[in-house]
Amino acid sequence: MSSYLQVAEDEGEEPIELPTEDDSTLLLSTLAAQFPGTCGLKYRNPESRAMRGVRLVEGRLHPPENGWGNCVYYCVFPKENKRKSDDHLENSTAKTKRMETKLKCSDLIVLGLPWKTTEQQLREYFESFGEVLMAQVKKDPKSGQSKGFGFIRFGTYESQMRVLAQRHMIDGRWCDVKIPNSKSLDAVCSSTRGGEVYIGGTTTLYEPIDIAAAYTEYGGNQMYPYNDLVPYVYDPSYQFSSPIGGVCVAGDGYRVNSGTYDTTTRTVSYSVNGVYNKVGETDHYRPSHMSDMSHKADSISGYQVEHYMNLHRMSLKKDYNDVHYSDSHRSSSHGQFGSQNRDKAYHERDLDMTFDRYDSGERSLRFSGSHEHYSDYTIYDRTEEKVSSSLGNLHDSERDYSKVRRHSGSSRDVEHHYADRYLVKISRREREKSHHGSSDRSYKHGNNIHGHKRSRSSTKDSNKTYYGPDVSDSDEMAYHKHKSAELEEWVQKRSGYSRGETYHSSASVAGPRSIPVIQSRY
DNA sequence: GTTGAGCGTT
């Protein structure tokens, strides 16, 4: 049976009695029904005379140790509502960012909007709960008619909490606000806090700072230093692996906030530098070469970190053998890239196919990386000894038909570009750009855009051979090398294990190479 | 000019 609790807006105000629940907690929604905009509760501790906060867990306010007692509780309102001065908004972006980063807002879906409600009205309604960063009403693109739902995003988690805790009367209709099913990445990260998620499909994500920069720079997405995205495992020298790295989500650090959550695979697709990536919760998206057994654990700044260095190395060796097998059958599979030889074709391409732009020949690209990225089907042209191939896993509209040509040399003699769907997508944009007269041919993209010439940059390092594009002298490449060295150091410190050793221990596999840094900006 | 338990052109 419920009892009542005295709550006032502030000291000196008249209290209202609010019913508590059977477990003697007070629902935040109950509180908010009487005091819209409240985000918490406090009371004055009779001993210290200081204000004490009331524990709030998942929308429930929990009584102090000795019960609610007879004292009057006071509402707590978000600081942003006090509006000391507006010029705070302008200055100290760094500090502001740091503040924001503690919060874990996600886009919220507003369901049941009246057909007539505009984005402006939506925004105005929710601004009473706090700063509204985004308000959208989803409309039919042709008619412009509202679909009756929209999305909002708040600047603070407190606002988000309060809005989620109640129903909303907007323009005469009751509307629900929920976390959308297609939730953003941060929702995944926060739900897996202290655990890990995997990042896949990228060649460039080594390092938290880079990720942060990429996210803040591209697409207006924000980074939240909330969880620590610790890159591990992804070994750029491992050309046959799927370019999948792991990240840990633990403690305070960086958190990305963007992407589309796929409810069936429980992964999130998002993009960095225009490269699409995937993140999934550990149990649902684990690259096959990262068994969850026998991993090592250590800690960084007290955060638990798991990594799979040794496993990774093992799988590298295994894959290399596979490729070798295929390689030895190269002549017999020549010209037979039909479906019956699909697997073989994969390996062929992994090993020694040069992938050319079908239309412009701008790039000489090389298949490497994840098999899943391509080859829905291939057509071998006997006269030209070329294979027309569509890149897999794409929507039809995104398919990029290309030709794959056999390359006679050893795989180590050709440049290794990642020729996955994402890169192709970027190149298409570049092509459009260049067709519009841009003189910037973007060497910074780290690819040999002038097509077929195979360039292997010379050995730049005492124990590394770079099979990189012809941009090894560029600033980007220098920067990239610098970053790679930093990562190396980081990895070594973490695990007492260096990537250089990875290479040597796996002998004849192509050595570490510089990965093109994709810096397409659009 | 209609509808209502819906999930987002990035």
| Placement of tokens 């840990």 in the chain | A248
Query: From the CA of A459, how many Å to the C1' of B6?
Result: 59
Domain boundaries, chain A: 3-76, 108-178
Query: From the CA of A451, how many Å to the C1' of B5?
Result: 54
Burial bucket for residue A459 (CB in 10 Å: 0-12, 13-18, 19+): exposed
| CATH H-level, domain A108-178: superfamily | RRM (RNA recognition motif) domain (3.30.70.330)
Residue A405 to residue A409: CA distance in whole angstroms? 12
Positions of strand B less than 7 angstroms from a protein CB = 2-10
Query: From the CA of A116, how many Å to the C1' of B2?
Result: 14
User: Hey, how many other C-beta atoms are within 10 angstroms of the C-beta on A116?
Assistant: 12
Residue A511 to residue A471: CA distance in whole angstroms? 18
pLDDT at residue A159, rounded to an integer: 84
pLDDT at residue A38, rounded to an integer: 76
Which nt sits closest to A260, CA to C1'? B8
Backbone angles phi, psi at A48, to 5 degrees: -90, -10
User: Hey, how many other C-beta atoms are within 10 angstroms of the C-beta on A384?
Assistant: 10
| Placement of tokens 């900006």 in the chain | A521
pLDDT at residue A144, rounded to an integer: 87
pLDDT at residue A1, rounded to an integer: 60
For residue A52, the Cα-to-chain-centroid distance in whole angstroms is 38
Query: From the CA of A20, how many Å to the C1' of B5?
Result: 30
Q: Which regions of chain A are under pLDDT 50?
A: 81-103, 184-473, 476, 479-480, 483-484, 486-488, 490-522
